[in-house]
Chains A and B, each alone.
Chain A
């Protein structure tokens, strides 16, 4: 009985192997000249947030370039080096010429794979490492965060705003600080209460964190999370919310006021075009509102009176370069003046943010 089982399974194996080899010669679609662009996502494309924003960018790029490009993507790729390398190998195997990895934790795997495939171009979103054939790209999201802070600061009545945040890394800290500065610019008494979830995408823990903050008396929520869970919690509690990544008016109509948005399409289009005409370089990209990669969503009726005018005024200053959020004086949580009047933070300082500004209630866990 057992012997037969072995024989049977062995037969299946031989048959499948034969099938595998027999069809080996075929290509997997696509002509020689077609550029293949691979996208590595940390969540599902329908997360209604971060990954959706990237996927919209991919679709826009594909639509603009038509037959010149074929794009492939992989969802739910964990932030584990081995997993990322595996997915990249798979994509290169399917002919990828350029690969975009969209989450911070994909960095180590991408840098390792870049050395393995020198002929492929790599671009990593939100990281800081580069290689000959690998660059990174991100946007000055803090600009739109500041604007959304203005809206939240005007809206709150308890002067306590909830901020559900993923990881204590510079990108997230920068966003919290910008948001807080924006809120304080219109409401000096405001406090921004931060809760870490240690995950980009996990609707259950995002929601739990939001609920805890709402219970503590916050009446407006903001988030650095990939899903809409924080806003759902706000809606259920009768509070108001600032979203992130994409517009969520349809998802949470009774809470959504506005959101800082990613418009990745323009960047992806440029990057892939550069690969097509051979002008791609590993120069990092950090675009701001002036380039359109970042914006603040149109405000809903729930936004406070006068917010639109105030935001429009500051937005114009940001786009013209007259104001760039981290202009002194800026105080830390202890009330010390860290950036003096007349000074402003350099890009390098902003990219390494590891302290909170005054008005933030919460800690940055220390590394050993």
Chain B
């Protein structure tokens, strides 16, 4: 048996593979649920209901989708250039750190001004957090995957330090948490969902235009395809790398501000919820297409929210609900593999070699 690269598949074949994946996931997940003593059909229907069944649940799904979507957009920009930004988690934390600093120390400023400052600061901070490894890569050719990954832990430990000592709320009777933001530092709501959803939609459009209809967007694509071609075409590779990485980090950093200001109302080590890593998956599943990022992030959020719903509704253990989500994801990812490769069984030949 060996694995071979596939030639281009037709649309129908792709659809078939993907359908098979979803079906396989549902069947396997169903077996798992039967083992748990639940009726799979009921559970699946309630997962969908849990994600979309009422405005309430829809809102929770959107709340999960917002950070996932924006972070996916952020890492996508870097991926376009074949720069592996695994550090979104850290960029989110550092963005949130900058925003929180302003929220705690300048709480008397007018709301729009304060929010603008927090947003800008978070983007600058997130951008810097990615420009550092980008600069090292451009200058010394260091491995950006490891570099950005390690910066995640530095950011996480920094926030832990803030929460457990430097910024510990003296009014919390010793419990390690950072004080809650004042009213002026909280994101306003539109249709009862914090305005992160509008920011997300605007970003989808802006990044789509930036990547597809600007000179830099074209340069990013060329560098991603082949650095040599880019150099031959006279593109200033270093400059484009640094500029693009700043943008990628800035978008992720903004997520930190949105989560701190729109959801948690403060900074904590639980702020990201692992979204910086999940975003890598969603960005890839979307084929690095900004519009698809929106769709995939929403579906992903539905899966998460539905999984959370069945925990309370059917008292399925948290770990089982997560296994179910992981199963579904696993099948979908596996199907991406089979879209690119095929398994070839050696044919028995009449004579030995």
Contacts and interface: CB of A to CB of B under 8 A. Distances in A.
B333 interface: no
A16 B170 contact: no
B309 A169 contact: no
B312 A38 contact: yes
A169 B299 contact: no
Interface residues of A, number: 57
Contact of A368 (B14, B45, B166): B166
A82 B169 CA distance: 17
Contacts of B268: 79-81
A29 B63 CA distance: 26
Contacts of B173: 128, 169-170, 352, 354
Contacts of B263: 82, 86
A16 B302 contact: yes
B54 interface: yes
A167 interface: yes
Contacts of B309: 90
A294 B309 CA distance: 33
A39 B298 CA distance: 28
B49 A20 contact: yes
Contacts, number: 149
B287 A20 contact: no
Interface residues of B, number: 60
B52 A9 contact: no
A103 to B, nearest CB: 10
Nearest to A46: B317
A339 B164 CA distance: 30
Nearest to A39: B312
Nearest to A104: B175
Contact of A93 (B54, B289, B298, B299): B54
A168 B317 contact: no
B53 A368 contact: no
Contacts of B132: none
Nearest to A23: B49
A112 B183 CA distance: 13
Contacts of A24: 49, 53-54
Contacts of B265: 81-82, 108, 112
Contacts of B175: 104-105, 167, 169
B328 to A, nearest CB: 12
A74 B22 CA distance: 27
B54 to A, nearest CB: 7
A108 B180 contact: yes
Contact of A83 (B56, B172, B270): B270
Contact of A9 (B176, B292, B308, B311): B292
B289 A2 contact: yes
Contact of A81 (B52, B63, B266): B266
A355 to B, nearest CB: 11
Nearest to A112: B265
Given A20-B49, A76-B318, A10 B295 contact: yes
A167 B315 contact: no
Nearest to B180: A108
Given A75-B318, A105-B177, A352-B173, A9 B312 contact: no
B161 to A, nearest CB: 12
Contacts of A89: 56, 60
Contact of B14 (A5, A10, A79): A5
A79 B176 CA distance: 10
Nearest to A17: B52
A350 to B, nearest CB: 13
A367 B168 contact: yes
Contact of A168 (B8, B174, B266): B174
Contacts of B295: 6, 9-10, 13
B270 A79 contact: yes
A82 B264 contact: yes
Interface string A1-21: 110111011101100110111
A45 interface: yes
A167 B311 CA distance: 28
A321 interface: no
A127 B273 CA distance: 25
A172 to B, nearest CB: 8
B312 A45 contact: no
B137 interface: no
A29 B180 CA distance: 37
Given A76-B318, A198-B164, A352-B173, A86 B63 contact: yes
B312 A94 contact: yes
A86 B296 CA distance: 22
Contacts of B53: 20, 23-24
Contact of A86 (B51, B60, B259): B60
A28 interface: yes
Nearest to A173: B174
B142 interface: no
Given A23-B53, A108-B177, 19 more contacts: A1-B9, A5-B292, A8-B15, A9-B299, A12-B22, A16-B48, A75-B318, A76-B318, A81-B266, A82-B263, A82-B264, A82-B265, A83-B264, A86-B60, A93-B57, A105-B175, A128-B173, A364-B174, A368-B165
List 7 A-B pairs, minimum CB-CB distance, nearest first. A20-B52, A82-B263, A82-B264, A4-B11, A80-B270, A78-B270, A75-B318
25 contacts: A1-B8, A1-B14, A2-B287, A4-B14, A5-B14, A6-B289, A9-B296, A13-B295, A16-B48, A17-B52, A23-B53, A38-B312, A44-B317, A72-B312, A72-B313, A72-B315, A74-B318, A82-B265, A83-B273, A90-B60, A90-B308, A108-B177, A169-B173, A364-B174, A365-B174
